[in-house]
Structure 1
Amino acid sequence: MVAMELSAKQIHLVCLPTGAFYDLDSPVPWHSNDDTVIRNATATPNTSSELWQLSAMNPAKRLETLDAVQGARWRIDGSDSQGTQFHIVPLFMRNPTPNRIDVHIPSQDRHPPQLRIALGSAWAFCLRDARVATLGLSRHLVRALEYWTAEVGEDTIERQWSDAPFGSRIIVDSVRADPRQMKCKLIRDFESERQMLSLTALQSMWSFPLAAYPSTIDISQMTLLYQVHDTISLVTLPGCLSKNKVVFKSTVNDVKYLYHELKLLLSMPGHPNIMPKPLCLVTGRDRYGGDDKLFGFILPYYPRENLANAVSFRERDGTLHLRDQTRWARQITATLKSINASPARFYSELKADNLLLDADDNIVFIDFEQMGNWITYSAPEIHYVEFCACLAKSHLVPEEMRSRYKDLLQSLVPEQAASHIYDNPRDGYYGVWNHLTTQEQEAAEVYSLGKTLWCIFEGCADTRNSALKAFKVDKGVEFPAFNRTPPKLRDLILRCVKGNRDWELDRVEVIRIGDKIVPRQQVRSAIGVTEEDAIAAAKMMWQRRVKEMELFLEAKLQWRAGIRTPTVRDILGFPDRPSLDEVLNELRLEENRSR
């Protein structure tokens, strides 16, 4: 058996703490909605008939071509949901509205084995941007959409697209060698619009004067150019408003976070390193006869790469200079201080991927939903609570253990009533962060800052080659190794991330190599890797992390109770991280030395 391919079904084994409870003797991989399909896809063939069904010589399993479709009527711009959701643009429509209609396909484990390899299905798991369009899977999917369009008719599909509720879906029932057999259907989904409120309703909640609100534009007046991300559409507005591309920020999931971000953008004072206030608000008709609903807002478009890609490209090309690195580091730290003093009060999503560069090569902060961060950037006092919440809710965890984690979670973060509809909370919806003291929130920001500084000074897009996202340049160096960071800043970074548990890279751990998940130790010793090896290593990794989580959270409870021994302090780490002021002073000194 070969190494473990990336697949959406592996998310709860490789990327979440539920992997600690994986049953190694289970004959069926986790989290299938149809165990029969998975068994059939993974079972060893026993008869000549079964072998023929899997054989590449079988005409039914042969692909005619994986060339790009010439004159295609559809374009794929990116993907999400571990390679099961694809962002599309209908090129045959003259002025397609940005209705956030994506194509959804079955997970990789449901693709026939021979096709899975030929199409590069596993790569779709970790590719999010336009590179996904070069995959055989994407070209095959475009071909299926072409046949569907020819069968149904362009005019019919355009009418369906224009009239579909925001966030509707095109469902592809299967992935087959013959794209004509891949049945497509546009499904009307009303859930996103149900969560939306009118601008009038939002204004009644917020105390801003009317002058604080930008003008509005109906979503039907905008033309979709590119679907860059699940929340970012590049659009054009009517000529009188803008002749250039702008960003339409929206979401099809948890609209309440979008409204919270809008509230912060409208209330925060202007800052050269923070995304400016929206240019206008996007509304659309209420299907039930009420006031027009707020679908999102328009932001300026920054065409340059984000900081994650910029540092990795420049490091590769030999154009990453210390004077730029120290300037960015100083701007990021100073801006964090400004955010903390603003109505936003904190910034929980700091990572190089969330920082843009403007035309003058200066930092611009984006994304103020105040949601969670990637685990590689998230402080242990944050992500260990999130681990505990995951284990407390998962049916994959034995009931006795689940009950224990529920009690532990309740003692740390009392459960709040979940609401799908925005209700104007003062501090947003990130309960884990909101239960930290002001000093603890700053310490958590400093942790994320430390990881971001490592990326900047090492010239890496991320602290490691993540299974969930492949950047344009994967690097051999991983945190906490240092190759090019100035010595004084190495010490600063390590102080920023006190409490980090990823010091020992040689411990059992799984990593992504290309489109495969492999145990780190076996990669280094050049031993042949099997899927069973990767599964066992993932389980061991998460067992270790869950034990560390339990140790940390018990120490956190002791700290809250006033038991602040040196041992407890050392486990937690956050009491000994430097303040933002201290970090900023050291960065200014380094910036002066680099001139």
Structure 2
Amino acid sequence: MVVQLNNNVSLVRISDLKTTTLFVFKTNLRNLSYLYHELRLLLLMSQYEHIIGKPTYIVTTELEEGKSSRVVGFILEYYEHGSLSTTLDSGKPFTVRWKLGWALQILDALIHVIRGPDSFYSDLKPDNIVFTSPFDKLVLIHFEQAALLESERESAMAYSLGKILWCIFEGGSYTHNSMDEKYEVPANVVFPQYKSTPRPVKELIRMLRESLGYVSISQPDPTAQAKMSPREVVEASQNVWESRIFRMEKYVKVMSRLREGNYDKSDELLLGVPLRPKFIYVFQKLQDLARHEE
């Protein structure tokens, strides 16, 4: 092992190959079901330029004598050019056209995913998008998935896509969508506020985020929050979570009616999820915007 990146991911070299090439070793000994699910997806999905490739090797361990070995991890290609998160937080300036290129690649990958074996990608965030070449070609990694009804998958992914677009065009990997989030890089703008995002992209983000259950709660400006007394911080946190719990409870009730087919137009408008645009629509809109930037 060269370096352990987190509890489940390490950078390694394989001595038998007699090379200095780095690989990623991934495991999840606390919950092997997640590991096996990701392995299954990676093996079943067709190769695609914006999706991480199939495992290079499967790692097993010997059990008791006479018993078969057990899969405990797998080896993946290592992408040395870093993540979208690192690039966004670097402060490097990128043109709108360049950012549109990233957004289109991510959407292209998601459209491929929803046509695949499980049609869902549950962990869309800048840390899980990496470059295969400097600041250019992107791929999605980390395919441990959460369970969700098939009819809801694209709509659920749409909300995360809205956040990714916000991160790209505002130039930071942060969202500051809860009171306890902390980031090493100071935020100049707080999600879902805008400073640099073009108007057409802002409208797409608004549409993608449309939902009662996931509406972001406005929070104090980071500078003002730093001046709050301990009591004011507690009261502000309490107000945030009371509001979120109320919205979540309402969301669950409306979703229940929606699944049973026992809902009316006001429920649908309140819920918002059925109104979120399809990825192909967002892709086409961003393509149109990219043409205007040429």
Aligned partner letter, 1:365: L
Structure-2 change in CA distance of 1:362 and 1:251 (3 Å): same
Give the direction of change, closer, same or farther, for the CA distance of 1:330–1:234 in structure 2 (3 Å limit): same
Name 2:267's counterpart in structure 1.
Answer: 568
Q: Distance in 2 between matches of 1:566 and 1:462?
A: 35
**Is it true that 1:551 corresponds to 2:250 in the alignment?**
yes
Task: Report the CA distance shift for 1:364/1:241 in structure 2 as closer, same or farther (over 3 A).
Answer: farther
Conserved? CA contact 1:465–1:474, under 8 Å? no
**Aligned-partner residue type, residue 269 of structure 2:** D
Distance 1:320 1:467, change over 3 A: farther
Q: Is the 8 A contact 1:522 1:529 kept in 2?
A: no
Offset from partner CA, 1:161-203 (integer Å, 9 cap, x none) = xxxxxxxxxxxxxxxxxxxxxxxxxxxxxxxxxxxxxxxxxxx
Structure-1 separation of matches of 2:259 and 2:98: 41
Opposite residue 524 of structure 1, the aligned amino acid is A
Q: CA deviation at 1:568?
A: 1.0
Superposition map of 1:428-467 within 5 A:
430=147, 433=148, 436-438=149-151, 440-464=152-176
1:308 lines up with 2:59 in the alignment: no
Structure-2 change in CA distance of 1:242 and 1:283 (3 Å)? farther
Using the TM superposition, give the Cα deviation of residue 305 of structure 1 relative to its aligned residue in structure 2, in angstroms: 2.3
Aligned residues: 292
Structure 1 residues 357-385: Cα deviation after superposition (integer angstroms, max 9, x where no partner) = 112521111111113xxxxxxxxxxxxxx
Instruction: Tell me the residue number matched to 2:25.
Output: 248
**CA-CA distance at 1:275 after TM superposition:** 0.6
CA distance in 2, matches of 1:362, 1:521: 35
1:460-539 → structure 2 map (5 Å cutoff): 460-464=172-176, 470-499=182-211, 501-502=214-215, 505-506=218-219, 520=220, 524=224, 528-530=228-230, 532-539=231-238
In the TM superposition, what is the alpha-carbon distance from 1:344 to its structure 2 partner? 3.0
How has the CA–CA distance of structure 1 residues 478 and 526 changed in structure 2, closer, same or farther, with 3 Å as cutoff?
A: closer
The match for 2:96 is 322
Q: C-alpha deviations, 1:276-324, integer Å up to 9, x for none?
A: 11111112221465222212011111122211221221xx23x222222
Structure 2: which amino acid aligns with 1:461? S
Paired amino acid for 2:143: F
Contact 1:499–1:573, Cα closer than 8 Å, also in 2: yes
Could you tell me which of 130, 133, 146 is aligned with 1:356?
A: 130
Q: Which amino acid aligns with 2:23?
A: V
- Structure 1 residues 329, 560: CA separation in 2 closer, same or farther (over 3 Å shift)? same
Secondary structure, aligned partner of 2:58? strand
* C-alpha distance 321-239 of structure 1, shift in aligned 2 (>3 A): farther
Shift of 1:542: 1.6
Name the amino acid aligned to 2:242: Q
Q: In the alignment, which residue of structure 1 is the partner of 2:292? A: 593
3-state secondary structure, aligned to 1:244: coil
**Could you tell me which residue of structure 2 aligns to residue 176 of structure 1?**
none
Contact 2:217 2:240 in 1 (8 A): no
Change (3 A) 1:527 1:355: closer
Q: What is residue 281 of structure 1 aligned with on the other side?
A: 58
Partner AA of 2:101 in structure 1: R
Question: TM-score when scaled to structure 1?
Answer: 0.46
Q: Provide the C-alpha distance between the structure 2 equivalents of 1:307 and 1:276, rounded to a whole number of angstroms.
A: 18
C-alpha contact (below 8 Å) 1:311/1:320 kept by paired residues = no
Preserved CA contact (<8 Å) 2:89 2:172: yes
CA distance in 1, matches of 2:283, 2:43: 27
Q: Kindly state the Cα deviation for residue 503 of structure 1 after the two structures are TM-superposed.
A: 5.1
Q: Is the 8 A contact 1:302 1:358 kept in 2?
A: yes
Superposition RMSD on alpha carbons, in Å? Answer: 2.3
User: Corresponding residue for 1:579?
Assistant: 278
Following the alignment from structure 1 to structure 2, what is the Cα–Cα distance between the partners of residues 524 and 466?
Answer: 16
Aligned 8 A contact 2:225 2:233 in 1: no
Q: In structure 2, what is the equivalent of residue 296 of structure 1?
A: 73
Q: Deviation per CA, 1:398-439, whole angstroms, max 9, x where unpaired?
A: xxxxxxxxxxxxxxxxxxxxxxxxxxxxxxxx2xx1xx243x
Indicate how the Cα distance of structure 1 residues 534 and 292 shifts in structure 2: closer, same or farther if over 3 A, else same.
same
Q: Give the drift of 1:249.
A: 0.6
Structure 2 counterpart SS, 1:305: coil
The gaps in structure 1 that reach 5 residues or longer are 1-223, 372-429, 507-519
Matching residue's letter, 1:369: E
The alignment partner of 2:15 has SS state of: coil
> Which residue does the alignment assign to 2:110?
336
1:179-194 matched pairs, under 5 angstroms:
none
What amino acid sits opposite 1:308 in the alignment? S
1:23-67 deviation digits (Å, cap 9, x = unpaired): xxxxxxxxxxxxxxxxxxxxxxxxxxxxxxxxxxxxxxxxxxxxx
Map Cα deviations across residues 196-228 of structure 1 (whole Å, 9 max, x no partner): xxxxxxxxxxxxxxxxxxxxxxxxxxxx11001
- CA change 1:364–1:471 in 2 (3 A) is farther
Please tell me the residue identity of whatever aligns with 1:505.
S
SS in 2 for 1:593: helix
Deviation string, structure 1 residues 71-116 (Cα, Å, up to 9, x no partner): xxxxxxxxxxxxxxxxxxxxxxxxxxxxxxxxxxxxxxxxxxxxxx
